[in-house]
Structure 1
Amino acid sequence: MTTTSPHTPAVDAARWPDVARVPDAHLRARAARVLGRHAADRAGVHLRTGADREPTDGRPVLELYDERSFYRRLAAGGLIGFGESYMAGEWDSPDLVTLLTRLAEAYEDLIPRPLQPLRHITLPRRPSSDRNTRSGARRHISHHYDLSNDLFALFLDRTMTYSSALFGDDDPRDPEGLAHAQERKIDRLLDGAAVGEGTHLLEIGTGWGELAVRAARRGARVTSVTLSAEQRDLARERVAEAGLSEAVDVQLCDYRDVEGTYDAVVSVEMIEAVGERYWPAYVETLDRLVAPGGRVGLQSITMEHGLMRASRGSYTWMHKYVFPGGLIPSVTAIEEQLAERSSLAITDRHAFGTDYADTLRVWRESFTGAAEQVRDLGFDETFARMWFFYLAYCEAGFRSRIIDVEQIILERN
């Protein structure tokens, strides 16, 4: 069974059950309508419906095609319903990033303060299946990274690097500019971890192998671990094409099961996927694996500590559809874990969140330009809208400065 919308093709109910089904929340939808209009006013967003064509006065526009379904979803699922309504084609915006950025900037004022405590009572909570046990972590990583190497190749640059670039004078809109910025990011992290000739390096979270290749070209011996079979296979191919198979060993392995000691450990945008329950295990593993005198280089998305604490139990659209099991840490939370669980301490930090916004813009534009190839790979229109919303949602997070990204170097205390 499928549902239809005048703005999107039919939604496959077997593949997208909660997008195809509009929740039965008639009474609460009335309250959601009032709160939705309050939120739009507070954020300076123009809610446009039907034949409404009044001037927007420069305000970002949220075009409502199906008000009834939109508010029922909002009432039943909060931000999950907001995203599912977009996937269903019930609303859109001529500039989605600007709209989401404005909403993010006004996040604390969208709900009247007397009602804010009720969010924790009325909105969905994380299911137990969201925990990153060994089997859960494998399932969560596969959910995202094993979609298709060909899909990621459609919007990433030639380095196949799926994390924030570090732009210097490079033009973000130039494909080679993004590639050079990714290489700069990798080199800066390797420099911080003192990776060079003879270094035995452990990489936790392989990606598609670019960091391992660049480290090996410095003369390092690299062990890289991932839970994604698709990433492992393509990373091994890329390592072989670079003629570095003897220097790089890519393994399908949980970070908790890695043995030995290493001169340096690097991990790029991995801690966000670990989950708060397993931060102690992650930090203890870093401490156990790095040799005396060695360094750890992390790249992590971060958020302000108070916001992290307030959102730690939330179950969001991002958890449900894109990154199950994760939580973006604060630098304070990382410092607390290091102090309690290790002899490591932060010795250097570099934040570059605006670079992540620019990185995501390039990815989003490349993904949009590859719409036909995405369909040829077997991904339907609902997936395409989900992925576009995900990229725009993240870009808005960095543009609004609700989230940031940092390179963090750790050494023995």
Structure 2
Amino acid sequence: MKTNPKELQAIWPDVYTVPSHRLRAAVAERLWRHAVRGLPLHVEYGSAFGAVSGSASGPGSNLPTMLIRSPEAFFQRIGSNGLIGFGEAYMSGDWDADDLVRVLTIFASRLTRLVPAPLQRLRKIAVPRARGADRATPEGARLNAHRHYDLSNELFAQFLDPTMTYSAALFPDPSGATWEGLAEGQHRKIDRLLDQARVGPGTRMLEVGTGWGELAIRAAQRGAEVTSVTLSQEQLILARRRVADLGLQERCEIALRDYREVEGTYDAVVSVEMIEAVGAEYWKEYFATLRARLAPRGRAAVQAITMPHDRMVASLDTRTWVQKYIFPGGMIPSIPAIEASVGGLRIVDRFSLRRSYADTLRLWRERYLERREAVDALGFDEVFHRMWTLYLAYSEAGFRSEYLNVWQLTLERP
């Protein structure tokens, strides 16, 4: 799809407009040069800025290279908007990398040391505040889900495997994960969750967050009576079609409903990578809802992405690039935050899929890049392509650096 510059500026106003703040840009440049000086990274600058290596090794070494094509714009962006500006600089083409994941992994593994400690205390003053419009109220949650999951079923089909599962797979050997083995890895992940929740013939199961229906289908094929809720109209349509194609309508209901609107009790509740979307202020309500829906001695299996507690606390009430462009209203919890939110539920098992998630994301990213022409044919422009590439690489780097983790948590209602 051809899009003229004026149309692009209307779609991506903060990408096509470079902020102008000389003092902030000068401070950002000084901090940046100090930060990258000790990194195992080669940095090249365009225009008259020269070149600098983060290490004694230069080009030709095994170091990844970050090319800052438009240094003036790059420093204006990060000086004015911090990490949001860093992401927007990539979206606009102000910088690039020969190995994007390696470059981002280097930054993610040293994130707490890149900015001097005294300046980190100014974070909440210097970075953009969270938008009230993105709060995951019942109405806000619908709008947030629409902005991500309703982009296009065809878009997600370009890089997800045939199960259309959009969460961490589980591989016996993540380093050997292949595209051909991804669907099996997703089933392995789903089966472990269903086993932990003790889902079998006759189980009344609630799924909070349908995705495109694979987990609900898998549970129904075990003989469970499944109710699954989603806020995405696009996911609803495809999930219902997949259920009908398999003749499982009698055992599997897919509903367009907020998790807070569900009624009744269930023997098991399963929720995969949903807590990240509900917003920090609603974590306790989310777990209270799971508890209220569980029958006595029922079990819940929750798959949750987590981050270090100190970084989570530092991020509260601030707006990130991911929140602005990928998951509005979202917030990744820490394990202590989850433990403080579960209320009357008791965590009886926890299992990490961190390494598997890094390679799940690698496979998605490789597939997306292979299918670039098909994505273009759907009407997505170059800025979207760079945004989506950065999102997948950024997420993979988070897990490779161990900044992010992902857990399958089993909870019981005593």
If the length of structure 1 is used for normalisation, what is the TM-score? Answer: 0.95
1:363 aligns with 2:364: yes
> Using the alignment, how far apart are the partners of 2:192 and 2:26 within structure 1?
52
C-alpha contact (below 8 Å) 1:154/1:367 kept by paired residues:
yes
**1:29 match:** 25
Three-state SS of the structure 2 residue aligned to 1:176 is helix
> Using the alignment, how far apart are the partners of 2:360 and 2:317 within structure 1?
29
**2:373 match:** 372
Report matched runs for 1:10-409 at 5 Å.
Answer: 12-50=8-46, 52=51, 54-55=58-59, 57-168=61-172, 174-338=178-342, 341=343, 343-409=344-410
Count of residue pairs brought into register by the alignment: 405
The one-letter code sitting in structure 1 at the alignment partner of 2:360 is T
C-alpha contact (below 8 Å) 1:88/1:382 kept by paired residues:
yes
Alpha-carbon deviations, 1:64-99, whole Å to 9, x = none? 110000000000000000000000001000000000
C-alpha contact (below 8 Å) 1:171/1:177 kept by paired residues:
no
Alpha-carbon deviations, 1:229-251, whole Å to 9, x = none? 00000000111111111110000
> Using the alignment, how far apart are the partners of 1:11 and 1:373 within structure 2?
22
> Using the alignment, how far apart are the partners of 1:240 and 1:85 within structure 2?
45
Alpha-carbon deviations, 1:160-212, whole Å to 9, x = none? 00000000258855333000000000000000000000001000000000001
The one-letter code sitting in structure 2 at the alignment partner of 1:44 is P
C-alpha contact (below 8 Å) 1:42/1:106 kept by paired residues:
no
CA shift, 1:310, in A, is 1.8
Alpha-carbon deviations, 1:370-393, whole Å to 9, x = none? 110011000001000000000000
Cα RMSD between the aligned structures? 1.8
Alpha-carbon deviations, 1:245-297, whole Å to 9, x = none? 11100000000000000010000000010111111211110110000111000
Three-state SS of the structure 2 residue aligned to 1:14 is helix
> Using the alignment, how far apart are the partners of 2:340 and 2:51 within structure 1?
52
Three-state SS of the structure 2 residue aligned to 1:366 is helix
> Using the alignment, how far apart are the partners of 1:103 and 1:177 within structure 2?
30
The one-letter code sitting in structure 1 at the alignment partner of 2:33 is R
Three-state SS of the structure 2 residue aligned to 1:13 is helix
C-alpha contact (below 8 Å) 2:42/2:59 kept by paired residues:
no
Question: Which 10-residue stretch deviates more, 162-171 or 321-330?
Answer: 162-171
CA shift, 1:23, in A, is 0.4
C-alpha contact (below 8 Å) 2:171/2:177 kept by paired residues:
no
> Using the alignment, how far apart are the partners of 1:71 and 1:87 within structure 2?
15
The one-letter code sitting in structure 2 at the alignment partner of 1:61 is T
> Using the alignment, how far apart are the partners of 2:59 and 2:375 within structure 1?
36
C-alpha contact (below 8 Å) 1:170/1:181 kept by paired residues:
no
> Using the alignment, how far apart are the partners of 1:163 and 1:250 within structure 2?
19
The one-letter code sitting in structure 1 at the alignment partner of 2:8 is D
Distance 1:173 1:345, change over 3 A: closer
> Can you give the 5+ residue segments of structure 1 that lack an aligned partner in the other structure?
none
Work out the percentage of aligned pairs sharing the same amino acid: 55
CA shift, 1:60, in A, is 2.4
Three-state SS of the structure 2 residue aligned to 1:78 is helix
The one-letter code sitting in structure 2 at the alignment partner of 1:130 is D
CA shift, 1:398, in A, is 0.1
Alpha-carbon deviations, 1:21-68, whole Å to 9, x = none? 000112211111111111212433222023749536433221011000
The one-letter code sitting in structure 2 at the alignment partner of 1:410 is L
> Using the alignment, how far apart are the partners of 2:145 and 2:254 within structure 1?
16
> Using the alignment, how far apart are the partners of 2:411 and 2:97 within structure 1?
43
Three-state SS of the structure 2 residue aligned to 1:43 is coil
